[in-house]
Amino acid sequence: MNYNVLHIQTIANSEGCTPLRIHRALLEQGVNSMMLVVQGSGDAIYQATQSSTLNRYVPPKNRLIRKIKNKLRNKWGKGLLLSEKLDYKIWDLAKLHPMVCYSQSYSQYDLAEHPLVKEADIVHLHWVQNFLDFESFFKKMKELGKPIVWTFHDLNPMMGGFHHIRLREKYYNEYQMVEDAQYEMKRCAVSGDMNLNIVAISSQMKDYIFKHEFYKDRSIYNVFNCVDEKKFFPVNKKDARSVLSIDENQKVLLFVSSYLNHSEKGMNELIQALELLNLNDILLICVGDGEIPQTNVEVQRFSSVHDTIWLSTLYSVADLMVIPSFQESFGNTCVEAMLCGTPVVMTPVGIAMDVIDEKNGVVCQDYTVEALAQGIKIAMDRQYDGSYIRQKAIDSFNPNKIANEYIGVYEDVISKKIYQNNEGFVYLVKIVLFILSVYFVSIIIDMARRFLWERLLLLKNKVKQ
């Protein structure tokens, strides 16, 4: 494995960062893996600077100053660049809709000129929004012929700036100008002759990619995210509940989301489902930042936490982990809960259909409150073996397994590059062989013609005699 892999990721500064986990797993396997980030630190992780930037005007964030400079620029005859127009509109929309995650497909970073990019044998893209300048980067990658592996950690590469399908449908009319512009920007950037290879992190994600106009004709691989079983582990339920002062006999459901009130995470639907079930002695633990709506369900909230020991304690306290999301590309909390031996009830998103069976949880029929309530009821009526749940998670998502699968992707991608580099030579050989075949065929035809002519002359002489 004497090749250099460079991961490009906007932020890599927490244990929950999946690309960081992949990078570390590859280092353990002896791969010369490096990361280029805006924020982050650690082994072979480098922060990009704007010392080599694209020649673009950066508009001020203050709206009044922006308006004044905008008028002056137009008055002096210097029109706004497309990126400036998009910046203005995106910032204004962000104030109107602060809970809508909307990203930029352009930036000041000229990453294609970075020394690490030039030295890399493979460039591995991850979550690159607001960091990668799509237009300049992919244009230069095409010229260099450098292989690119791109792991889709959400659906943003298949949209303009949105990350969630439902939010795009809901707010498209307001975002239409910036959304259409960024979608076209991406279409132009990723089209054409380029060694671009896509990694889907779930079967559902792979289906999305296969149907998308940008990527359906690219090589598409399926590699799960990795989660370290040493970081997430079962804690004795009795001890864990004692720490949190929770009754041993109480049924506990767990919901985890960085932002509890994010509409796509489904906390409100989960509470409605529990109200519909109207079960006695149920406690819902919500972990994350945000507000809990008024409800007759007993709810206990903990702030967002990144300490894996504390998270393992919370996962172990629960009888069920519930993931009521409307969209997940993978579902890291599903794997983390399973590594702690906790069964999972999950809507049909992300890895739900890949990993959940009747022995480790329930996949709900759809996204409705009624389907969620039914899934919870089915799970509560079952008996689960925590050791089986943990072992299946280890077998499916351990870092060594996932690192080796990525090594397989890299080797396949490099072999394609070698073939592509030899295509000119192969084409020349084919031309030479064609010319030689034509030459020899012409000789054979000429010999046959002469033979026939001689036979005709002999026949003619015999007739005369």
What CATH code is carried by the domain that includes residue 313?
3.40.50.2000
Pairing status of strand 361-363 against strand 148-152: unpaired
| Residue from 380, 308, 371 nearest 344 by CA | 380
The residue with greater pLDDT, 443 or 330, is 330
Separation of alpha carbons 225 and 208, rounded Å:
17
Quote the DSSP letter at residue 368.
Answer: S
Is the same domain home to 367 and 260?
yes
Q: What is the predicted pLDDT for the residue at 465? A: 59
Under a CB-based contact definition with an 8 Å cutoff, are residues 25 and 399 in contact? yes
Assess if residue 452 is contained within a domain: no
Q: What is the predicted pLDDT for the residue at 39? A: 87
Sheet holding 45-47, edge to edge: 45-47, 32-40, 4-12, 122-125, 148-152, 196-200, 219-222
Assess if residue 15 is contained within a domain: yes
Q: Is the dihedral of CA 366, 255, 343, 273 positive or negative?
A: negative
Q: What mean pLDDT comes out for the span 334-340?
A: 98
Separation of alpha carbons 253 and 246, rounded Å:
12
Q: What mean pLDDT comes out for the span 231-235?
A: 96
Assess if residue 447 is contained within a domain: no
Under a CB-based contact definition with an 8 Å cutoff, are residues 386 and 342 in contact? yes
Under a CB-based contact definition with an 8 Å cutoff, are residues 21 and 223 in contact? no
Predicted TM-score of the model (pTM): 0.84
Q: What mean pLDDT comes out for the span 411-425?
A: 68
Q: What mean pLDDT comes out for the span 85-93?
A: 83
Q: What mean pLDDT comes out for the span 407-419?
A: 85
Assess if residue 103 is contained within a domain: yes
Is the same domain home to 61 and 37?
yes
Is the same domain home to 205 and 142?
yes
Beta bridge partners of 58: none
pLDDT digits (tens, 9 = 90+) for 9-65: 999 887 778 999 999 999 999 999 999 999 887 788 888 775 444 544 444 455 555
The alpha carbons of the chain give a radius of gyration, in whole angstroms, of: 30
Q: What is the predicted pLDDT for the residue at 58? A: 46
Is the same domain home to 200 and 180?
yes
Is the same domain home to 326 and 409?
no
Is the same domain home to 123 and 194?
yes
Assess if residue 437 is contained within a domain: no
Is the same domain home to 254 and 298?
yes
Give the position of tokens 């804690």. Answer: 235
Mean pLDDT of the chain: 88
Q: What is the predicted pLDDT for the residue at 427? A: 59
Is the same domain home to 210 and 242?
no
Q: What mean pLDDT comes out for the span 100-108?
A: 92
The residue with greater pLDDT, 294 or 417, is 294
Question: How big is the CA angle at 233 (ends 230 and 239), to the nearest 5 degrees?
Answer: 140
Could you give the percent of the chain with pLDDT greater than 90?
71
Quote the DSSP letter at residue 43.
Answer: T
* Phi, psi (rounded to 5 degrees) for 435: -65, -45
Is the same domain home to 100 and 208?
yes
- Which amino acid does the sequence have at 273? A
Domain CATH number, residue 175: 3.40.50
Give the number of domains in the chain: 2
Assess if residue 268 is contained within a domain: yes
In the numeric block, which tokens belong to residue 445?
Answer: 């035809």
| Residue from 92, 60, 82, 67 nearest 175 by CA | 92
Separation of alpha carbons 151 and 129, rounded Å:
13
Under a CB-based contact definition with an 8 Å cutoff, are residues 282 and 251 in contact? yes
pLDDT digits (tens, 9 = 90+) for 234-275: 999 999 999 999 999 999 999 999 999 999 999 999 999 999
Q: What is the predicted pLDDT for the residue at 83? A: 73
Number of H-type helices and E-type strands within the chain:
16, 13
How many CB atoms are closer than 10 A to CB 396? Answer: 17
Q: Tell how far CA 432 is from the center of its chain.
A: 45
Under a CB-based contact definition with an 8 Å cutoff, are residues 182 and 129 in contact? no
Is the same domain home to 216 and 346?
no
Report the run of H or E that residue 378 belongs to, with start and end.
helix 369-380
Assess if residue 308 is contained within a domain: yes
Residue 375 domain boundaries: 237-397
Q: What mean pLDDT comes out for the span 126-139?
A: 94
Separation of alpha carbons 13 and 221, rounded Å:
27
* Helices 165-190, 134-144: crossing angle, 10 deg rounding: 40
Query: What pLDDT band is residue 383 in, cutting at 50, 70 and 90?
Result: very high
Could you give the percent of the chain with pLDDT greater than 70?
88
SS3 363: strand
Assess if residue 83 is contained within a domain: yes
Is the same domain home to 161 and 285?
no
Q: What mean pLDDT comes out for the span 418-430?
A: 56
pLDDT digits (tens, 9 = 90+) for 193-207: 889 999 999 999 999
Is the same domain home to 26 and 41?
yes
DSSP states of 320-337 = EEEE--S--SS-HHHHHH
- Which amino acid does the sequence have at 436? L
Domain boundary at 336, 364, 397, which? 397
SS3 230: coil
Separation of alpha carbons 20 and 18, rounded Å:
5
Query: What pLDDT band is residue 452 in, cutting at 50, 70 and 90?
Result: confident
Query: What pLDDT band is residue 303 in, cutting at 50, 70 and 90?
Result: very high
